[in-house]
Amino acid sequence: MRTQVAIIGGGPSGLMLSQLLMRAGIDTVVLERQSRDYVLGRIRAGVLEQGCVDLLRRAGCGDRMDREGMVHEGTNLSTVNGMFRVDFKARVGATVMVYGQTEVTQDLYAAQDVLGATIIHQARDVALHDLTGDAPHVTWEKDGRSHRLDCDYIAGCDGFHGISRQSIPAESRTEYERVYPFGWLGVLSRTAPATEELIYANHPRGFALASMRNPQLSRYYIQVPLSDKVEDWSDAAFWDELRRRLPAEVAEVMETGPSVEKSVAPLRSFVTEPMRWGRLFLVGDAAHIVPPTGAKGLNLAASDVHYLFEALQAACAGDAAALDLYSDRALRRIWGAMRFSWWMTSMLHRFPGQSDFDQKIQEAELYQLETLETAQAAMARNYTGLPY
């Protein structure tokens, strides 16, 4: 089998890259380790920057998002001293779209089906070969048989634990990482959202986030120790703790109900450089991880796809030099989002050993955000998305 671009990983970044390339007349094959149902069952983020929204429309996958997604013009922040709102539209003339990553993936699959895309699921033991030579290829096992795919380029969209980044020699990549000493306990419930827009809460008991996927599906998080397990938290205990950390006027009227999904996720900041090794290009979580506080995970993957699509389109048209720019272009935006996600995480969470002084400093930071238009403009620009 042969194609122009082999894409490792059938999540939203791999599917989006395949969709854009195919619409530009460039052949692709997508290899995914899991089944389609498994990929569609993943519960992930749901806040899309304007750049991601525009890219989905460009890929021909924006119709349902435009019908069902919720445009948010701002967000709320809460401290023990009260809640305030940052108006994105007023400060920087931009908005975000609340539309779940699962929905994005469904739309991309549907669009790929229309184009007749080749997506091979349950591809096991994927290996990448001759990445710095002239004949890159991919091998894998499926249904007890060995398979080979020859290609011109390989896009590694297979996440943090995938084979793509590991295929770059350790001595040829530099990794930067910060692991945070807490996790997020997340609950998905078929309840009306607590408010029309998200609430990010700083509280002496720990961080909390009130979010949503649609008008009947809510997503909530509370900061917990890394040692906590899902089994440690009944639904009742979760709702009680969440209400303690949210503003009283919200907690008193919010709707609660049985959890549809419950999980504990650790938080880390991670970047590997460079994002290119010969004919291999890393995309999304294969190259970087952000704490979810700034809602940048899927959005950074989308900007990577944008840069790589432009580079591959140029290369397939004869301008291979465009590929040399991919890593630097992507990393410049990645580090901006890393800084923002680190700042949001540091400002809103309770750290082990944090003193009352540290808590007061966080509250002072939030007060400046509440009262200074310049501080709000900086947050709004970063939250709605730095330009591509």
Catalytic amino acids?
Answer: 72, 200, 292, 296, 383
SS3 375: helix
Q: How many helical (H) and strand (E) elements, i.e. helices and strands, does the chain have?
A: 13, 20
Q: How far apart are CA 217 and CA 230, in angstroms?
A: 20
Q: In 88-206, where do the E strands start and end?
A: 96-98, 118-120, 124-129, 137-142, 145-150, 153-156, 174-189, 199-201
Question: If you ran DSSP here, which 8-state letter would residue 350 be given?
Answer: P
Which of 185, 156, 190, 189 minimizes the C-alpha distance to 173? 156
Which tokens hold the place of 275?
């994002």
Residue 383, classed as helix, strand or coil, is helix
Residue 225: cis peptide before it, omega within 30 degrees of 0: no
Cβ pair 89, 95 in contact under 8 A? yes
With beta carbons less than 8 A apart as the criterion, state whether 105 and 36 touch. no
Burial 72-97 (b: 16+ CB within 10 A, else e): bbbbbbbbeeebebbebeebbebbbb
Measured distance CA(105)–CA(110) in Å, rounded: 9
At what angle are helices 326-348 and 373-384 packed, to 10 degrees?
Answer: 130
Locate 77 and state its tokens: 């922040």
